């Protein structure tokens, strides 16, 4: 019989079990959430294409005076001229350079789209948080207000508000902000209804935190995923809505280079000067598509189930 020294046995290395035992060196370094989201986002090629296009559009809008050969009100002697080396996108019915107006129009569309979305998010997030957190009569009142607004056709409501406040960029921002918060309020309400009963919210109540702090410091950060995704897509929707209002002569008026207004002015010259409709229409299409791509990419990147 062989006697085993206990000290030697304790010092002996563990027996192999089909592979070396894992060590801390084998564990990957934990990445912050934003790095993980960016890694998943950049794998989406369409989202990256949309992001690059939006960045280029922003740069074009910022440096528009430097990259355009004419001012938006400059007139030449060429009326409805087709695209050429002198006028890349041709000229309109009164001799203005279409390329310059499309580039400057990016300022108008992005400003309206971003500010209208910010206004609608402020209204929608606030009312949705109140409805979802407090429930009861406040939830009933806010839900019925949403139902009333949804029962009114969007264009009719937008035209009515624009008629009261006038036809300008600021009135379009106000119109889109006051009519675009409905879906956001419902999204935030449903998120708050599902989050307010979790353990960390009950712990915050037990610690005596105020309701406002619990709503906006504890619950809201955990409901940001749908807000970010919807906000990104809403910018594109607001740009498209601005184009529709300008097409109906409710938005910015001439000589403001609004893309929708340019489409409206070019629709009657489609057979003789199709470039007047094609270039501003293409700008609207590509910009809205880029924001949709980015929104879809953010939705996939922020989804914890795809991690």
pLDDT tens string for the chain (307 positions)? Answer: 444 444 444 444 444 444 444 444 444 444 566 777 788 888 889 999 999 999 999 999 999 999 988 888 888 888 888 888 888 898 888 889 999 999 999 998 899 999 999 999 999 999 999 998 888 888 899 999 988 888 887 778 777 877 787 777 888 888 888 888 888 899 899 888 888 888 888 888 888 888 888 888 888 888 888 888 888 888 888 888 888 887 777 778 778 888 888 888 888 787 888 888 899 999 999 999 999 999 888 888 876 555 5
Instruction: Kindly report the three-state secondary structure assignment for every residue of the chain.
Output: CCCCCHHHHHHCCCCCCCCCCCCHHHCCCCCCHHHHHHHHHHCCHHHHHHHHHHHHHHHHHHCHHHHCCCCCCCCCCCCCCCCCCCCCCCECCCCCEHHHHHHHHHHHHHHHHHHHHHHHHHHHHHHHHHHHHHCHHHHHHHHHHHHHHHHCCHHHHHHHHHHHHCCCHHHHHHHHHHHCCHHHHHHHHHHHHHHCCCHHHHHHHHCCCCHHHHHHHHHHHHHHHHHHHHHHHHHHHHHHHHHHHHHCCCCCCCCCCCHHHHHHHHHHHCCCCCHHHHHHHHHHHHHHHHHHHHHHHHHHHHCHHHC
Instruction: Assess if residue 97 is contained within a domain.
Output: yes
In terms of Cβ atoms closer than 10 Å to its own Cβ (0-12, 13-18, 19+), residue 241 is buried
User: Which residues span the domain enclosing 67?
Assistant: 56-306
Whether residue 1 lies inside any domain: the answer is no
**CATH number for the domain including 218?**
1.10.3720.10
In-domain check, residue 47:
no
The answer to whether residue 27 sits within a structural domain is no
How many independent structural domains does the chain possess?
1
Residue 134 in domain:
yes
Residue 2: predicted pLDDT: 43
């Amino acid at each position: 019989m062989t006697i085993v020294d206990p000290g030697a046995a304790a010092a002996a290395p563990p027996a192999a079990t089909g592979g070396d035992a894992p060590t801390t060196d084998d564990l990957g370094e934990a990445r912050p959430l934003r790095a993980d989201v960016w890694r998943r986002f950049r794998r989406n090629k369409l989202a990256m294409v949309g992001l690059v296009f939006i960045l280029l559009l922003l740069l074009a809008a910022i440096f528009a005076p430097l990259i355009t050969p004419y001012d938006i009100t400059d007139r030449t002697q060429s009326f409805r001229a087709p695209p050429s080396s002198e006028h890349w996108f041709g000229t309109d019915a009164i001799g203005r350079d279409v390329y310059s107006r499309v580039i400057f129009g990016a300022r108008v569309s992005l400003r309206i789209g971003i500010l209208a979305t910010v206004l609608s998010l402020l209204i929608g997030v606030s009312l949705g948080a109140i409805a979802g957190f407090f429930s009861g009569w406040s939830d009933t009142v806010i839900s019925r207000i949403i139902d009333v607004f949804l029962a009114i056709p969007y264009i009719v409501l937008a035209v009515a508000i624009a008629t009261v406040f006038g036809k300008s960029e600021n009135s379009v921002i106000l119109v889109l902000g006051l009519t675009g918060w409905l879906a956001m309020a419902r999204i935030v309400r449903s998120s708050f209804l599902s989050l307010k009963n979790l353990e960390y919210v009950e712990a915050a109540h037990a610690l005596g935190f105020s309701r406002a702090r619990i709503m906006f410091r504890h619950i809201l950060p955990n409901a940001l995923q749908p807000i970010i995704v919807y906000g990104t897509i809403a910018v594109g929707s607001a740009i498209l809505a601005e184009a529709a209002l300008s097409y109906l002569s409710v938005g910015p008026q001439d000589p403001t280079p609004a893309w929708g207004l340019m489409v409206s002015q070019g629709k009657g010259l489609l057979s003789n000067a199709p470039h007047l409709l094609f270039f501003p229409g293409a700008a609207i299409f590509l910009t809205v598509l880029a924001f949709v791509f980015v929104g879809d990419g953010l939705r996939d990147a922020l989804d914890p189930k795809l991690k």
